Structure 1
Amino acid sequence: MCGIFSVFLPDGVVETCLREFAYQASRKQRHRGPDSTGVVAGDDFAIVQERLSIIGLVTGKQPLVSADQNLILAANGEIYNYKELAKLVSNRRGAPYCPRSDSDVILALYEEFGTECASLLWGMFGFIIYNRQTREFFVARDGLGLCSLYHGQGADGRLFVASEMKCVLSPDVTIFPPGCYMTGNALNYKIVEYYKPQWSSLNYLPFDAQELYARLQTSVCYHMNADVPIAAFLSGGLNSSILCYLITRYYKDCAPQTRLKTFTIGMEDSHDLVAARRVAQFLDTDHTEIVFRVDEAIDLLPELIWYLETYDVSTIRAAVPMYILARAARSSGYKVIISGEGANEIFGGYLYFHDAPNEEEFSLETTRRLLDCHLGDGLRANKASLAQSCELRAPFLGSPFVTYAMTINGRDRMPQQLGNSDVKVEKYILRQSFQHCLPEEIIWRQTEQFSDGVGYSYAAEITRYAKQRIAPELLATAAERFPYNTPTDAESYLYRSIFAMEYEGDRRARTGVGAPCPTSSSTRITCSTLC
């Protein structure tokens, strides 16, 4: 994971020192890649990459340039199937091809397949390719938007593309849509959707516990590919516990001398600390517990909102403990972290899914949640970890696993009755698939929001602090100060105020909105309950 930035000038626009301009603009996202900064610039373009070196530590420095010096690539993310793609390129060329890093296959695929290259990639990515000869660019983002990406146009027509909104030096800034590519030049370009999942109409596979286990195991193995040590976030919940189990199995088979490093966080009253300790003991991981206080969380809010580029309440609440976890992991020497994002979206893990009236509504809602995750949990996972120069990987969101899991019948993925009792359990088939792998109390532990699991007093204390800071008369006039997406309570007003100090303008406020709350008939729940 890295940070990328580019600026493309239209004909007639001159920047006296475009290289320096781009270098300075990209500095704001240097936390994403502190290992090195690479710049390639010409008269009408500049491309910058802030590198967090994980694969190809010596050979993978970017921007990468093609053998004929015509194509320039800056990429952010990880391409998990790059070895298979390297073989594809070799076979197509009839000559050996050895990629300099996982990102290098993007350049080779573009040379061979053009714009179709994006649909061949399995991973999380955002990248920019510039063709010196045609003076055109090709920009793409992964299907679920696991890597953040923004674009915007200046008053003089110059076009910006960057991993973070703060680097787009224009009030006209927009989230680059997931699953799309953009091609053209600064004044004449088009955005094309290449990723069009049809999960809601493909829910036909019956549940098979062995198949689900094998598919997730394969996804974990791909996500373990790195030239640096890997750790895991362990909350003691089902998702992270399953992943830690599969990683320990991976190490037994592939690296018997390696012991998994795990991190957990919570307040003194945290359920997560207790549950994670139980899992760590069961799996014999090298475990670190971090206990934090609410006043620490409050102190972090301004800097965290600057990193996150959002004012969404649930995203910010959950980001605080993840930010502290990432800081601990990085200080312990870990750049790559495995985490359990995605399982709740795929398997209906949020408690409101118990209210789904039928399998069709359930499937539609899981599809919506998954495609919107880049606005909430996906954004939080990406930016809170990279704020501490850590890359977070989510095996549940690996492309092949998502495709498989989302084609399982909705009725099988819905909450199921537990034995002969009247109790329904969410993520039932995931629990069944791993019920012999972990302690029973972990397998059947109810899903909790991350911000609840770290301590039930956490959200209440944050809300109390916000009410102390934001007077009722401020809330009464909120619509005058914030006419777009007006905050309706003290906590949302507090976050919006901090956001507005860093990011001015209506367009930037529109990029800072979190994932929408449930809307279908299956989700009879209020936003405050969900968060």
Structure 2
Amino acid sequence: MCGITGIFDLHERRPIDREILSRMNDIQRHRGPDGGGIHVEPGIGLAHRRLSIIDLSLGRQPLSNEDGTVWVTYNGEIYNFKELMAELSHRGHVFRTQCDTEVIVHAWEEWGEKCVHHFRGMFAFAIWDRKQETLFLARDRLGIKPLYYALLPNGQLIFGSELKALITHPHLPRQLDSLAVEDYFAFGYIPDPRTIFRYANKLAPGHTLTLRCGASKLEPRQYWDVTLEPQALGSESAIEETLIEKFREAVNIRLVADVPLGAFLSGGVDSSAVVAAMAQLSNDPVRTCSIGFSDPAFDEARYAEQVAHRYGTNHHSAQVDQDDFELINRLAGVYDEPYADSSAMPTYRVCELARQRVKVVLSGDGGDELFAGYRRYRWHLHEQRVRGILPLSMRQPLFGILGHYYPKLDWAPRIFRAKTTFQALARDPLEGYFHSVAVIPNELRHRLFSQRMRQELQGYEASQVLRNHARQAPDHPLLQVQYLDLKTYLPGDILTKVDRASMAHGLEVRVPLLDHPFVEWAGGLSPHFKYRSREGKYVFKRALRPYLSDEILYRRKMGFAVPLAAWFRGPLRERVRTAVTGQILAETGLFEMPILRHLVDQHLSGLRDYSASIWSLLMFDAFLRQAMEGESYDRNASSSISA
């Protein structure tokens, strides 16, 4: 795994500032601590930071073809590179290395923009073709690897693996994007293709961007999309057998590495399944690591140890002090833009732990989205049944009134709170699902934002993100929300969290459940095989019963939670009050400060639980402090943008 960055002149072949490119590259040193390289010629500069995994001696980048007319800088792993190398060699291409990077160069020469269809893996790369005067950017199908880009006022395009590489360029405008602010406080992250900055973008998963000298606008093109269409895949027993076969293959191709390799093991279904497959495919004991918590309500360590014992893994665990507050400021620098998933804290620590023993780990990310494992899917289906009984004209007034007057049970998980359920039922299915996943619901967000901010939004609401994706989603209520999560929550929250936390420690994470052939096969499963008898991941769990105990497969899902409500009323009490009601947030002009003070007072007094809202505000404050220290945010610039 690595970090890439570059500068491309769209107007003419002006010289590239090598010093600026070098600074952009060096700020991503954590992604590639094993070395770096730069290639510059008139109008184009490519740079790379290397984390050596395969072909340790010859895989340096940027890397070119034989005559130096095609160059690539690349972040990721192409797992079928040996097969592609054999095919391309048969077609007359000559290889100097045994690394997957060179396969990308020759695949471009052979297939052009269609090369991405041949790659099986996770990747973000940039190809410069001098003969065609073309820069080609690509991101993998599911969005495992990130890629940011921005068009500067001087006509140059800059790109990088992390937003911090772009921010390092002195000519990037730093105005905040009002729509991204709304998205952040709704989702807790900023979905593709927006970033917190108005003039910077993420290349969306499954997209490419082709740029030629003289181009006047940027038009990303989609080359792949997840398809959730039920197919006739056979009997239940045949499906279980095929599932295990395809899953084991996805794990097996991710075991290729010239460095120590291991796995995350939380004791949940997905990570345990990965470890079980690795143990059966490996001659040596699998290296596993897990994080435990001092509070038993949040601790899954005993389940991880159960799986480790069954498969004889070389297991290493550590306990995280849940008063791990020093990470709050550090996370702002890791994620570069506001990011409010508090599980980023233990994720950061488990990556730190893993890197002490291995350089590559496999994770179980993607299983919940692929096989319908989230509890919110269950409640969405229940709500849909109610919607099927009562028309919207009756539900809106009835449940709207109940949602307004029924006391909210703040001590309960969000999906069990009566007020939240009533409010969801008063909406159409898409708005109802948005309400269930929103970190801060619409009504409260509108109250938090200042009049100026509301005017800049021009009526825009973050639910539009889901509506845009829903146009391509299946009609079935379960498949629709799975599709929405695969397009938003998975790349925007889960994969972003793991990529930044792991790369902060120079650790590569591979994700077998997101192997795209496996995803395409699973997309053909009927909803009946995903959710049955109030149980998510139905067929996945059934298929795993020979390999994992029922206690692992059917226990209540815990996740990487942290006790925010208690933190904010205890050791972080004064920090919360200082940050949320302080000068930094006030000077943005984005918020109604009396509402923020009311939020804090209500939470600290124990009258209401506003921990999710307060955490979002705390991380936004941390982002602003980090940005201002690096002079990356223009507080006096207008943040407006048309909806």
Give TM class, smaller chain. 0.7 to 0.9
2:64 and 2:102 in contact (8 A); partners too: no
Q: 1:408 aligned to 2:518? A: no
2:13 and 2:42 in contact (8 A); partners too: no
Show CA shifts across 1:74-94 (max 9, x none). Answer: 00001111112112212333x
Candidates 332, 351, 355, aligned match of 1:330: 355
Take 1:192 and 1:173, find their aligned partners in 2: how far apart are those partners? 14
1:100 alignment partner, SS class: coil
- 1:182 matched to which residue of 2? 209
1:141 and 1:181 in contact (8 A); partners too: yes
RMSD: 2.7
Structure 2, unpaired ranges of 5+: 174-198, 386-474, 600-612
TM-score by length of 1: 0.85
Candidates 135, 142, 162, aligned match of 2:133: 135
Take 1:436 and 1:479, find their aligned partners in 2: how far apart are those partners? 57
2:72 and 2:128 in contact (8 A); partners too: yes
- The Cα of 1:247 is off from its aligned counterpart by 0.3
Q: Using a 3 Å threshold, how does the CA distance of structure 1 residues 509 and 23 change in structure 2: closer, same or farther?
A: farther
- 2:264 matched to which residue of 1? 233
Q: Using a 3 Å threshold, how does the CA distance of structure 1 residues 64 and 97 change in structure 2: closer, same or farther?
A: closer
Q: 1:213 aligned to 2:323? A: no
Show CA shifts across 1:417-471 (max 9, x none). Answer: 2xxxxxx32212111001011222112222222226xxxx466426755553233
Indicate the larger mover: 271-280 or 62-71: 271-280
- 1:80 matched to which residue of 2? 79
Show CA shifts across 1:1-20 (max 9, x none). Answer: 100000012446855x7222
2:206 and 2:225 in contact (8 A); partners too: no
Q: Using a 3 Å threshold, how does the CA distance of structure 1 residues 360 and 389 change in structure 2: closer, same or farther?
A: same
Indicate the larger mover: 437-446 or 97-106: 97-106
1:86 and 1:98 in contact (8 A); partners too: no
- 1:311 matched to which residue of 2? 338
Take 2:270 and 2:124, find their aligned partners in 1: how far apart are those partners? 26
Candidates 290, 294, 298, aligned match of 1:268: 294
Bigger Rg over Cα:
2
Aligned-pair identity (%): 28
- The Cα of 1:68 is off from its aligned counterpart by 1.2
Q: Using a 3 Å threshold, how does the CA distance of structure 1 residues 505 and 450 change in structure 2: closer, same or farther?
A: farther
Q: 1:379 aligned to 2:519? A: no
1:38 and 1:61 in contact (8 A); partners too: yes
Take 1:505 and 1:212, find their aligned partners in 2: how far apart are those partners? 51
Take 1:509 and 1:215, find their aligned partners in 2: how far apart are those partners? 51
- 2:34 matched to which residue of 1? 35
Take 2:565 and 2:60, find their aligned partners in 1: how far apart are those partners? 42
Where does 1:46-125 land on structure 2 (aligned, <5 Å)? Answer: 46-93=45-92, 97=95, 99-125=97-123
Q: 1:288 aligned to 2:316? A: yes
One-letter amino acid matched to 2:507: C
1:425 and 1:446 in contact (8 A); partners too: no
- The Cα of 1:96 is off from its aligned counterpart by 6.6
1:238 and 1:442 in contact (8 A); partners too: yes
Candidates 414, 425, 438, aligned match of 2:548: 438
Take 1:224 and 1:234, find their aligned partners in 2: how far apart are those partners? 16
Take 1:241 and 1:138, find their aligned partners in 2: how far apart are those partners? 38
Candidates 326, 341, 359, aligned match of 2:365: 341
Candidates 351, 361, 364, aligned match of 2:480: 364
2:307 alignment partner, SS class: helix
Q: Using a 3 Å threshold, how does the CA distance of structure 1 residues 12 and 370 change in structure 2: closer, same or farther?
A: closer
Take 1:224 and 1:26, find their aligned partners in 2: how far apart are those partners? 29
Take 1:130 and 1:394, find their aligned partners in 2: how far apart are those partners? 28
Take 1:509 and 1:290, find their aligned partners in 2: how far apart are those partners? 46
Take 1:279 and 1:29, find their aligned partners in 2: how far apart are those partners? 36
Q: 1:483 aligned to 2:590? A: yes
Take 1:479 and 1:425, find their aligned partners in 2: how far apart are those partners? 46
Q: 1:166 aligned to 2:164? A: yes
TM-score by length of 2: 0.71
One-letter amino acid matched to 1:321: P
Indicate the larger mover: 403-412 or 97-106: 97-106
- 2:7 matched to which residue of 1? 7
1:337 and 1:391 in contact (8 A); partners too: yes
1:119 and 1:194 in contact (8 A); partners too: no
One-letter amino acid matched to 2:542: Q
One-letter amino acid matched to 2:289: F
- 1:515 matched to which residue of 2? none
1:117 alignment partner, SS class: helix
